Structure 1
Amino acid sequence: MLSDHVLFIDGEAIVIDKPAGLPVDRPRDGSLSLENHLAGLTFGFHRWPVAVHRLDRDTSGCLLLARNAKAHKRFAQTFEAGLVEKHYLAVVEGVPEAESGVIDLALSKISSREAGWRMIPAKKGKAAVTRWTRLAERGGRALIRFVPETGRTHQLRVHAASGLGMPIVGDPVYGKGGSAMLLHASHIRLPRDPKPPVEASAPLPERFRLAGFDA
C-alpha cells in the first residue's frame, strides 16, 4: 500500500516514494497505476490527491501530490516557473572523466510506427539543461546525481545517453535494458512562502544496493 510510502504530508501536499514499475498515468492496457492507490491516500480528506508532476513508470522516488485544487494550481505554477529543486540518482554504463558538469542539450520528440515514440537531441528542440555530479564508481559504472534545471520528458535518460555518452543502466529505450532501470528521484523541494517548503528525500532502493551502490 502506498500509504506506507509517504515521505511528507500536511494539509496541502503529500510526497510519496513511488515504487519502480508503477505508472503515474493509467496505461492503455488497463494495468494498475497510481490512480488505483489514491483512495488509500486521502488521510481523512474526501477528495483524492492529484499528482502534480510525472515520473516514468520505471523511475522510483519522490512524487508530489496536491490534496486540493488550489494547492495543485499553485504547485503547478511553481513547477512551471522552474522553482522546484529535484535531485535524481542514477547508475550509468561507464565512468565520466570529470567529477561534474552541465549538459545543455535541446530535445525533441519523434515517433515511428515500428519503434513508437522517443526523445532525441535536436537543435530546434526544446531547451533542456541538467547539472550532474559523479558520486561513486564501481565495476566500470558510476553513480551520478542529476539535477535538472528544466523538466522535459525523458530528459535525464537522454542526457545520460547522448550528453554523457553513458546510458542509465537498465534503460529499455535509450540503453541496453535487460534489468531494472537504475534511476531514482531522491529529493524534492518546493518553496511556498510564507509557509515552509514541501521537502522530502526518498531512500536509495534495494536495486541500487544490489548493483553495489550505497549512497
Structure 2
Amino acid sequence: MKDLAKYSRESAKNHALAQPSQVLPQVQLVTISAEEAGQRIDNFLIRVCKGVPKSHIYRVLRSGEVRVNKGRIDQTYRLQENDVVRIPPLRLAEKSTQTVPGCEFTILLEDDCMLVIDKPAGVAVHGGSGVSYGVIEQLRASRPDAKFLELVHRLDRETSGILLLAKKRSALTNLHEQIREGAFDKRYLTLVHGDWQNQRQHVKLALHKYTTSEGERRVRVQADGQASHTVFQLLRKYGPYALLEAELKTGRTHQIRVHLAASGFPIAGDDKYGDFALNRALQKAEGGRKALKRMFLHAHQITFTHPGSGKEVRLNAPLPPECANFLKSLEHSSSAVADDVMANRAATKGQAATR
C-alpha cells in the first residue's frame, strides 16, 4: 500500500497527463479505516490508484481480482470499517510532458472542510471521455499544497452552477452519506420549449444508462431502469418557452434533461436530448433576441448540513450572464423565435423529401 500511497502523492503533485505503461508488481492488502468506510469500491480504487486507467480498474473488478474479506464483490459494493481489500497488480501510467494548467473558479464558500464553486458551462468536472482534464485536475494544479481535494458530486459539462468539493476525507464521507439519505436539496433553473401548464409537476420515469456505438454515454426512459423523480416548478412563461425550477429527488445521470425531453419539453440548447431544429434557430440572434449557444441548465441552489458545524447551509449561484441576458431578450421576441423554428423545420423536411 505504501507504493500506491507514494504514487498517489506524486501523481497529485505533478498532475501529468498519461498513457498506460508501468505495472505495480505485487498484490496489496489494505484495511479500510473509519474515514474510508462508506465509499463504493470502484471510487475507492480510483482515488487510491491514481494514474491507473479507469478501464483497467473496472476490468479487474469484473474479473474478480479485487476481493474484499477474501470474497468477490461488484463495483457498487460499499466498503465498511476493517474490511480487507485485496488489490491486484495494476497498470500505472507514465508521465508525459503535458501538464494540467492550474485554474481557480468563482468561490461560493470555502473553509477547512469544503470548497464550493460556481462552475461555468462547457467545463468538465474531471478528465476522461475525450477530455484531458477538468475542474478537479485544474484546482489541484492551482493548489499544489492541498493534502486532499475530491469531488462530492458531478455536473454535466454543459451545465453551469454549484459544485461541491471536499477538503477532508471525513467531510467527503459525511456529504456522501447525506446524498444517499436524500438530505441534499439541489435545485436547477432551466428553460424549456413547449406550452407548460402545471404550476408544480412531478415526473417519475425510470432511467437506463447505455453507451452508443460511438462510445457516447446516454440515458433513456426504460421500465426496468433506476427509479427517478424530479419536481418541476413553473417560474415564468416567455411565449412558447417556460422557465422552470427543477428539484432533484434522486440524482441520476442526465435526469432533468431526459425527464423533460420524454415529457415533450426539451431544454433549450440541449444537444443530446433536445430539439435540434430549435437549437439551430436559437444559435442565431434574431429580431432583438440574443443568441443562445449553450444548454440552458444551471444548478442555482443547494441546501445541506455542514459536515463540520452541523448547521444548515444554503447557497445560491445567480444565472450566468448569457442565460440572464437571453431571458431578457425573449420578453420582446418570443413570437419571432417560434417563426424561426417553424421555418427551420419546414426547410429540413423539404430537404429530406428531395433526397
TM-score of the superposed pair, with normalisation by structure 1: 0.89
- Cα drift, residue 39 of structure 1: 3.1
Letter of the 2:166 counterpart: A
Match of 2:321 among 173, 198, 206: 206
Alignment-derived partner of residue 305 in structure 2: 191
Q: In the alignment, is residue 59 of structure 1 matched against residue 159 of structure 2?
A: yes
1:97-136 alignment runs, 5 A limit: 97-114=197-214, 116-136=216-236
Q: For structure 2, which runs of at least 5 residues remain unmatched after alignment?
A: 1-101, 281-292, 330-355
Match of 2:191 among 76, 91, 94: 91
**CA spacing shift, 1:82–1:45, aligned 2, 3 Å:** farther
Bigger relative contact order, structure 1 or 2 (CA pairs below 8 A, ≥6 apart): 1
Q: 138-147 or 175-184: which moved more?
A: 175-184
Structure with bigger strand share is 1
Alpha-carbon distance in 1 for matches of 2:315, 2:174: 18
Task: Percent identity, please.
Answer: 34
Q: 171-180 or 48-57: which moved more?
A: 171-180
Letter of the 1:211 counterpart: F
Q: 197-206 or 27-36: which moved more?
A: 27-36
Letter of the 2:249 counterpart: E
Q: What SS does the aligned partner of 1:147 have?
A: strand
Match of 1:166 among 253, 265, 275: 265
Q: Note the alpha carbon deviations across 1:46-75, whole angstroms, 9 max, x for none.
A: 324211000000000000110111111111
Alpha-carbon distance in 2 for matches of 1:148, 1:104: 11
- Is the 2:306–2:312 Cα contact (8 Å) retained in structure 1? yes
Structure with bigger helix share is 2
Instruction: Give the structure with higher Rg (CA).
Output: 2
Cα RMSD for the two superposed structures? 2.2
**CA spacing shift, 1:56–1:148, aligned 2, 3 Å:** same
- Is the 1:186–1:203 Cα contact (8 Å) retained in structure 2? yes
- Is the 1:182–1:207 Cα contact (8 Å) retained in structure 2? no
Count of matched residue positions in the alignment of Structure 1 and Structure 2 = 212
- Is the 1:143–1:213 Cα contact (8 Å) retained in structure 2? no
- Is the 2:126–2:133 Cα contact (8 Å) retained in structure 1? no
- Is the 2:140–2:146 Cα contact (8 Å) retained in structure 1? no
Q: For structure 1, which runs of at least 5 residues remain unmatched after alignment?
A: none
Q: What SS does the aligned partner of 1:75 have?
A: helix
- Cα drift, residue 41 of structure 1: 6.5
Alpha-carbon distance in 2 for matches of 1:160, 1:61: 19
Match of 1:139 among 239, 254, 268: 239
Q: In the alignment, is residue 14 of structure 1 matched against residue 115 of structure 2?
A: yes
